[in-house]
Amino acid sequence: MTGPAPRRVLPALVLAQFAGTSLWFAVNAVMPDLQRELGWPASAVGTLTSALQLGFIAGTLVFALLAIADRFSARRVFLLCSLAGAACTVAAWFMVREYTALLLWRVATGFFLAGIYPVGMKIAAQWFPRGLGLALGFLIGALVLGSASAHALRGLGGDLPWPSVMLGVAALAAAGGVLLYLCVPEPPNRPARASTLEWRALATLWTDRRVRASVFGYFGHMWELYTLWVLVPLILATRLQGATLSLAAFGVLGAGAIGCVGGGWAARRFGSARVAGAQLAASGLCCALAPWALDAGGYGFALWLGVWGITVAGDSPQFSALTAGNAPPQAVGSVLTLTNSIGFAISIVSIELFVSLAQRHSLAALLPWLGLGPLFGLFAMRSLLRR
């Protein structure tokens, strides 16, 4: 962390990532208002979230197959995608009463998020090759807070109209893109830009044992992460409502930033694999404890959700650090982007499955099954954990 990077680089990266990823749950945060005003069913939140995830998958596939992040300036890609994502959110606000149009605009927003989240990680990997676990801890911690920020804006705004929330998030994302472009220079000693797609480099997701272990661990993590985030308001609604529920949702989702940053510091001593494995195991234990925790007293319930919120996201930076550290240097951006694409495809399956089942089954019966993801991830990581 004390290499050639100017001091402003990491704070600017963190703030830009926070701002850009605030687009993720802009609609989720105002869904209660939209459901009351427009009569949408409870399942709409899952469909709209999956629409954005689908757009992100399409975007990451296009970015990976065209090697966008490795052929062009990552700073410019981040700026253009932040502005485009903000414009899509403004369009979603303008056409929000037409459900089909809203779905399409959320797909488009997800597409441009593919130029924000993975590209931000690529920039961090270029600037901080020796402190990547910690740098990504800050960066993905910012992503977690950015994703949760719409809930905070909704909770703190009280009677703030839902259009103001959506437009505020769009403005924040655009500002993040401009901030990164102006304050983060091109990294020194970066690898030569790829001129064509490197198929052999992308194939390391399967052919390289170390890359495969971290990538498959990440896939198990993705089965759990976004589905939990979608279900958190439903879990909290068993005890809270209104602005209090929104602030509590921000607290649970935002707690993941503690796991990301704390895990980054711990990785300097224990290594990224052990930190990721420990947090994955802890979040899996929270899945298993759900039937008891849902009926626990107030403090027990809060402690359970707090620990789950911290650990469910805290392993993500270390998976990315492991993958970036083992991937071919000239194709880090493309490998990370393709990994994200597959991971978010898994999250769509999980979100649609659990949101659908939640209409017919209790949360106590459903939540333990999220633990299948951490269990698979730990099995996939066994070679890294032994090392």
Mean pLDDT for the stretch of residues 108-136: 84
CA distances from residue 194 to 64, 70, 197, 334 in whole angstroms, order as listed:
12, 6, 7, 10
CA 199 to chain centre: 26
Q: How far apart are CA 48 and CA 45, in angstroms?
A: 5
Cβ-Cβ contacts under 8 Å for 252 (sequence gap 6 or more): 232, 236, 305, 306, 308, 309
Q: Is residue 192 domain-resident?
A: no
In a domain, residue 191? The reply is: no
Instruction: Write down the pTM of the prediction.
Output: 0.77
Which residue from 282, 382, 328, 313 is spatially nearest to 139, judged by alpha carbons?
A: 313
Look at 18 and 178; give whichever has higher pLDDT: 178
Residue 88 has pLDDT above 90, yes or no: yes
Distance CA 196, CA 88 (A): 30
- Does residue 198 belong to any structural domain of this protein? no
The count of structural domains within the chain is 1
**316 vs 43: CA distance, rounded Å:** 27
CATH number where 346 lies: 1.20.1250.20
Q: pLDDT of 334-381, one tens digit each?
A: 777 788 888 888 988 998 899 889 888 999 999 999 999 999 999 999
Per-residue model confidence (pLDDT) at position 160: 67
Examine the pLDDT at 191 and tell me if it is beyond 60: no
User: How far is it, in rounded angstroms, from Cα 235 to Cα 290?
Assistant: 10
In a domain, 1, yes or no: no
Query: Among candidates 257, 304, 240, 5, which has minimal Cα distance to 130?
Result: 5
More confident residue, 313 or 162: 313
Distance (Å, whole) CA 13 – CA 176:
9
Q: In angstroms, how far is CA 84 from the centroid of its own chain?
A: 19
What is the percent of the chain where pLDDT is above 90? 39
Q: Residue 134: its pLDDT value, please?
A: 80
Distance CA 251, CA 180 (A): 26
Q: Does position 60 have pLDDT exceeding 90, yes or no?
A: no
- Out of 135-149, 169-183, 321-335, give the one with best mean pLDDT: 169-183
Q: Is the pLDDT of residue 386 over 60?
A: yes
Domain that holds residue 218: 9-184+207-386
Give the pair of three-digit tokens for residue 50.
């999956």
CA distance 227 to 374: 13
Percentage above 70 pLDDT, the chain: 91
pLDDT for residue 35 is more than 60: yes
- Please determine, for residue 200, whether its predicted confidence score (pLDDT) is greater than 80: no
Query: Considering the domain boundaries, does residue 321 fall inside one?
Result: yes
Does residue 56 surpass a pLDDT of 70? yes
Judged against a pLDDT cut of 80, whether residue 83 lies above it is answered with yes
Residue 5, pLDDT > 60, answer yes
pLDDT band at 174 (very low <50, low <70, confident <90, very high): very high
The confidence band for 1, taking pLDDT boundaries of 50, 70 and 90, is: very low
> Quick one: pLDDT at residue 77?
93
Q: Is residue 195 part of a domain?
A: no
Tell me what the mean pLDDT of segment 38-53 comes to: 79
72 Cβ partners below 8 Å, 6+ apart?
193
How far apart CA 97 and CA 110 sit, in angstroms, is 20
Question: Is residue 2 a part of any domain in this protein?
Answer: no
pLDDT at 2 exceeding the cut of 60 = no
Nearest to 234 by CA among 354, 147, 314: 354
Residue 197 has pLDDT above 60, yes or no: no
Residue 196 domain-assigned (yes or no): no
